[in-house]
């Protein structure tokens, strides 16, 4: 067995691997008291931005802030981490005369990320020292030899072999030209040797051997056994430094490690991988608040996913939840009960049930339970219950494309035209005309409202199924209220879906960044109006008093028309009806992903820098295209139906990192993404779009065809079958959900809430024995226990499954733990 790091491996792989899946979620909130430049310009306002880096690889960048030394960024981020890393770093850059210079950074060791999980923290910025910016690992071999000289004396030699490095950083966007210096250092000596320069490689193969004398010669007759003197062992160490050869420029430090020679006391040969460390181990720091501070919210998640067969019992227990009577006794409902304060606890259950087509019956059952506990129709689905949380998550998962079709065009127009829409007299700027602003706002609201009410044909079938169920149950619960069938649906689709997406388009990937303050204010006003227009219970005049602000009351009155009410009613009828809708085809033009890449020209034989050009890559449901610049005409269009494989490309193909290939005909399209996260996302979206295409390849070549043969397998024919199996992409997949990963998260949630599970079990036993006396029920009021005996049985089943899974983690985890010093578990070496 072995471990593997991956951003995403397809669901339910029944093999012997334990997968380590990493993800990062959070928010770059704001900076405070930045000090970009010393001297007289110290307090001058500057434009700044913030970046996120995995070690030295930038994977995220905020927009540029306005001139302000305490800027607000407000940028949410989420991405899968496709490789191991040592540090997560946040850099703040400020604009100088000719470029952007680093103000400071926050660097957090991977092992320390758990300390800050889920909560906002202020971090003091530390200086960006070139000697602390390191990444990668080095493979070393050391041994002691006994050397007999010509005169018969014995000399002891230390032999150091520099085998290879992996994961060295990019320098100016290109793989580095690296070399290593190897030094034997001690109290009175420092012998240094140097390897050859390895051009354009982040994983250079050195395989060079260096010799050092470690003890003075002694008489061979006096030493019958090979032994190193104790005082020398304690004082000597090997120091390895990695550098990028700058040619005419200054060489750049890439990292170092130090290994004490005393490690050879017990082993004649020592061979291991070492993580490169900064000089001084990154301990230098400035005084607090010298450079400013940064407020961050960071949640790092690492899932150790076992082979699929290990999750069979827990999967079965969870999937039968919709049939359990009463629903409160089901495993899924019990998880929601004991994790009530943790909003993210619902998501893995929703994704698991969604994948197995079990979500609608489960949501219907828990919604029916909530309706039984609701006394007034006007409070229907207004709380933060298990039902509302499940439906919220469902809409975010399955409704992403729907939002793109419906809202993205009009939100792009609003954000890019930037018309003033402020109608609050207190917030009006000098020279603003409130009537003009009101007209601008009304036009925007009408466009958003029309886009929504005319979008029923694009509403995902799963959302329609849930809305239809909610409507029927609400009408049954409150048969004398003719409006409740509409408010049951509008409370979700308007209040919790469209209005929220309008308010925060960046969190739904509708805009790349948090909007500017003036645009954010416009979106707030639009969102507030859309909520009211969509709330069926608010469409009568006597409900206008719900507006606390008089200016909103006056503005909203212009929308009180029968036509507006009928449009909402018609829309709600259509998205909650039994009518099968055909696709409008609009979603074909929705941009699923776009961004700047480097593309290699197709059909050219010569490999070199000139063959790579910067292009704007864009993919929709129907086609992949690249353009000279964003918004320009397409230089090439590849139909998605013609793509037969999307795979990673080895670095040695073009001496470039983060490359992948799109195979669609005789000539593959070779693309270099900006970083490892971007490359992973491009491969994922293109693989999912093309997964059902006829003629998909079963094998591919992971390298380039050069000088009459493939670099990967040396096969001589350009059109010969590939030498490596293509990645598996499930054909029958619900939104690319990794079920094993979701079940592992559910296991972790149950395990971390064992005390609450025990308390719920005690509650069931008490209620069953004493028939629930009043004082006992108060003690357990946080739990929903309709049938204590059935709930007790389910908790017993959960405990049994958790114990079994815990045993599997111990057994499999111990068998796959990589040896310390191996490639997967390198030694954290010393630094100077």
CB atoms within 10 A of CB 349: 28
Inter-axis angle of helices 739-752 and 788-816, to 10 degrees? 110
Q: Which helix (H) or strand (E) holds 443?
A: helix 434-453
Distances (CA, A) of 762 to 185, 333, 776: 65, 17, 10
Q: Say which residues have a Cβ less than 8 Å from residue 121's Cβ, sequence separation at least 6.
A: 295, 296, 297
Mean pLDDT lowest for which of 38-42, 372-376, 424-428, 561-565?
38-42
Residue 159 has pLDDT above 80, yes or no: yes
Inter-axis angle of helices 359-372 and 346-355, to 10 degrees? 130
- Higher-pLDDT residue of 95 and 730 is 95
Q: Provide the whole-model pTM.
A: 0.81
d(CA 418, CA 773): 62
Q: Say which residues have a Cβ less than 8 Å from residue 139's Cβ, sequence separation at least 6.
A: 162, 163, 164, 165, 166, 271, 272, 273, 274, 823
d(CA 125, CA 93): 11
Number of alpha helices (DSSP H) and beta strands (DSSP E) in the chain: 20, 32
- Higher-pLDDT residue of 727 and 780 is 727
What pLDDT, on the 0 to 100 scale, is given for residue 729? 63
- Higher-pLDDT residue of 455 and 216 is 455
Residue 776 has pLDDT above 50, yes or no: no
CB atoms within 10 A of CB 147: 12
Distances (CA, A) of 767 to 754, 757, 762, 793: 20, 15, 9, 14
Q: Is 225 exposed, middle or buried (0-12, 13-18, 19+ CB in 10 A)?
A: exposed
What pLDDT, on the 0 to 100 scale, is given for residue 14? 43
Q: List the alpha helices (DSSP H) in 356-407.
A: 359-372, 386-398, 400-406
d(CA 110, CA 169): 18
pLDDT digits (tens, 9 = 90+) for 563-619: 788 889 899 999 987 655 554 455 556 778 889 999 986 654 444 445 789 999 999
pLDDT digits (tens, 9 = 90+) for 305-321: 999 999 999 999 999 99
Residue 521 has pLDDT above 70, yes or no: yes
Question: In 3-state terms, what secondary structure has residue 620?
Answer: strand
Q: Say which residues have a Cβ less than 8 Å from residue 580's Cβ, sequence separation at least 6.
A: none
Q: Say which residues have a Cβ less than 8 Å from residue 457's Cβ, sequence separation at least 6.
A: 574, 581, 582, 583, 584
d(CA 252, CA 178): 9
> Among 226-230, 505-509, 549-553, which range has the highest average pLDDT?
505-509
Inter-axis angle of helices 386-398 and 346-355, to 10 degrees? 60
* Residue 137 in tokens: 């690992």
What pLDDT, on the 0 to 100 scale, is given for residue 581? 53
Q: Rounded mean pLDDT of the chain? A: 84
pLDDT band at residue 45, thresholds of 50, 70 and 90? Answer: low
Residue 38 has pLDDT above 80, yes or no: no
Distances (CA, A) of 820 to 6, 20, 274, 378, 809: 20, 17, 10, 62, 20
What pLDDT, on the 0 to 100 scale, is given for residue 412? 92
* Residue 421 in tokens: 């829409």
Residue 229 has pLDDT above 70, yes or no: no
3-state SS, 551-576, equals HHHHHHHHHCCHHHHHHHHHHHHHHC
Mean pLDDT lowest for which of 26-35, 138-147, 647-656, 766-775?
766-775
Question: In 3-state terms, what secondary structure has residue 224?
Answer: coil
pLDDT band at residue 65, thresholds of 50, 70 and 90? Answer: confident
d(CA 539, CA 239): 75
pLDDT band at residue 513, thresholds of 50, 70 and 90? Answer: confident
Q: Is the peptide bond before 353 cis (omega within 30 degrees of 0)?
A: no
* Residue 425 in tokens: 């007299």
Stated length of the chain:
832
Paired residues of 18 in beta bridges: 3
> Among 230-244, 701-715, 717-731, 791-805, which range has the highest average pLDDT?
791-805
Given a contact cutoff of 8 angstroms between Cβ atoms, the answer to whether 610 and 599 are in contact is: no
Q: Which residue spans within 279-372 are E strands per DSSP?
A: 293-305
pLDDT band at residue 7, thresholds of 50, 70 and 90? Answer: very low
What pLDDT, on the 0 to 100 scale, is given for residue 561? 66
pLDDT band at residue 204, thresholds of 50, 70 and 90? Answer: very high
Distances (CA, A) of 234 to 222, 237, 614, 769: 23, 8, 54, 70
Q: Regarding beta strands 645-648 and 724-725, do their DSSP bridges make them parallel or antiparallel, or are they unpaired? A: unpaired
pLDDT band at residue 444, thresholds of 50, 70 and 90? Answer: very high
What pLDDT, on the 0 to 100 scale, is given for residue 653? 85
pLDDT digits (tens, 9 = 90+) for 663-721: 987 678 999 999 999 999 999 889 888 888 888 899 999 998 888 888 899 888 888 88
Structural Rg of the chain based on CA atoms: 31
d(CA 694, CA 717): 24
d(CA 739, CA 749): 15
Given a contact cutoff of 8 angstroms between Cβ atoms, the answer to whether 56 and 282 are in contact is: no
Given a contact cutoff of 8 angstroms between Cβ atoms, the answer to whether 683 and 646 are in contact is: yes
Given a contact cutoff of 8 angstroms between Cβ atoms, the answer to whether 621 and 583 are in contact is: no
């Amino acid at each position: 067995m072995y471990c593997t790091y991956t951003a995403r491996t397809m669901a339910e792989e029944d093999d012997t691997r334990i997968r380590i899946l990493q993800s990062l979620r959070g928010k770059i909130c704001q900076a405070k008291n930045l000090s970009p430049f010393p001297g007289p310009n110290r307090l001058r306002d500057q434009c700044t931005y913030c970046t996120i880096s995995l070690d030295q690889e930038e994977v995220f960048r905020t927009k540029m802030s306005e001139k302000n030394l305490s800027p607000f960024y407000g940028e949410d981020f989420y991405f899968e981490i496709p490789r191991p890393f040592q540090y997560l770093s946040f850099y703040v850059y400020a604009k100088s005369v000719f470029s952007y210079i680093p103000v400071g950074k926050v660097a957090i060791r991977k092992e320390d990320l758990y300390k800050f999980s889920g909560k906002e923290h202020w971090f003091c910025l530390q200086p960006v020292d070139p000697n602390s910016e390191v990444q990668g690992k080095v493979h070393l071999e050391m041994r002691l030899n006994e050397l007999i000289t010509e005169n018969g004396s014995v000399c002891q030699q230390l032999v150091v072999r520099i085998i290879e490095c992996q994961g060295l950083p990019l320098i100016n966007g290109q793989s580095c030209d690296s070399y290593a210096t190897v030094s034997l250092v001690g109290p009175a000596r420092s012998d240094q040797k140097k390897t050859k320069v390895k051009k354009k490689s982040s994983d250079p193969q050195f395989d060079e051997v260096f010799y050092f004398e470690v003890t003075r010669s002694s008489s061979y007759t006096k030493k019958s056994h090979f032994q190193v003197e104790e005082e020398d062992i304690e004082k000597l160490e090997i120091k390895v430094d990695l550098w990028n050869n700058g040619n005419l420029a200054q060489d750049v430090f890439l990292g170092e490690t130090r290994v004490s020679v005393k490690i050879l006391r017990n082993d004649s040969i020592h061979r291991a991988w070492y993580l490169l460390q900064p000089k001084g181990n990154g301990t230098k720091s400035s005084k607090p608040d010298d450079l400013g501070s940064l407020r961050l919210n960071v949640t790092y998640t690492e899932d150790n996913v076992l082979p699929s067969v290990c999750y069979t019992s827990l999967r079965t227990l969870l999937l039968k939840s919709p049939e359990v009577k009463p629903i409160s006794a089901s495993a899924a409902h019990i998880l929601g009960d004991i994790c009530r304060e943790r909003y993210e606890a619902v998501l893995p259950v929703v994704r698991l049930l969604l994948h197995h087509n079990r979500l609608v019956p489960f949501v219907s059952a828990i919604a029916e339970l909530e309706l039984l506990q609701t006394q007034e129709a006007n409070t229907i689905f207004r709380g933060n219950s298990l039902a509302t949380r499940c439906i919220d998550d469902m809409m975010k998962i399955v409704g992403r494309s729907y939002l793109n079709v419906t809202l993205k065009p009009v939100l792009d127009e609003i954000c890019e035209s930037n018309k003033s829409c402020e109608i609050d007299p207190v917030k009006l700027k000098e020279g603003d005309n409130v009537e003009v602003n009101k007209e601008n706002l009304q036009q925007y609201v009408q466009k958003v409202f029309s886009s929504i009410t005319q979008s029923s044909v694009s509403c995902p079938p799963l959302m329609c199924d849930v809305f239809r169920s909610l409507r029927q149950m609400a009408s049954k619960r409150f048969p004398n209220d003719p409006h409740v069938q509409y408010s049951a649906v509008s409370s979700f689709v308007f209040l919790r879906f469209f209005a929220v997406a309008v308010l925060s388009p960046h969190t739904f990937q509708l805009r790349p960044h948090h909007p500017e303050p003036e645009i954010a204010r416009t979106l707030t006003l639009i969102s507030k109006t859309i909520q009211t227009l969509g709330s069926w219970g608010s469409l009568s005049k006597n409900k206008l008093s719900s507006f606390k602000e008089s200016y909103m009351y006056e503005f909203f009155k212009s929308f009180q028309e029968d036509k507006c009410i009928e449009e909402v009613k018609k829309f709600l009828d259509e998205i909650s009806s039994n009518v099968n809708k055909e696709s409008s085809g609009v979603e074909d033009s929705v941009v699923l992903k776009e961004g700047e890449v480097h593309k290699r020209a197709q059909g050219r034989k010569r490999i070199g820098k000139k063959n790579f050009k910067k292009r704007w890559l864009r993919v929709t449901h129907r086609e992949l295209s690249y353009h000279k610049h964003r918004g320009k005409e397409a230089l090439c269009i590849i139909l998605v139906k013609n793509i037969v494989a999307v795979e990673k490309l080895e670095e040695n193909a073009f001496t470039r990192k983060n490359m992948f290939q799109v195979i669609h005909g005789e000539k593959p399209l070779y693309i270099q993404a900006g970083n490892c996260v971007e490359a992973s996302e491009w491969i994922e979206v293109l693989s999912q779009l093309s997964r059902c295409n006829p003629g998909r390849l079963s094998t591919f070549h992971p390298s380039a065809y050069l000088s009459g043969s493939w670099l990967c397998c040396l096969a001589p024919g350009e059109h010969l079958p590939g030498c490596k199996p293509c990645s598996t992409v499930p054909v029958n997949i619900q939104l690319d959900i990794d079920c094993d990963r979701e079940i592992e998260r559910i296991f972790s949630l149950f395990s971390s809430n064992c005390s609450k599970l025990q308390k719920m079990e005690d509650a069931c036993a008490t209620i069953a024995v004493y028939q629930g006396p009043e004082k006992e029920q108060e003690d357990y009021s946080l739990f929903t226990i309709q049938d204590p005996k059935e709930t007790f049985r389910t908790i017993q089943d959960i405990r049994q499954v958790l114990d079994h899974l815990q045993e599997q983690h111990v057994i499999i985890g111990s068998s796959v733990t990589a040896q310390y010093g191996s490639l997967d578990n390198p030694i954290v070496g010393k630094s100077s």
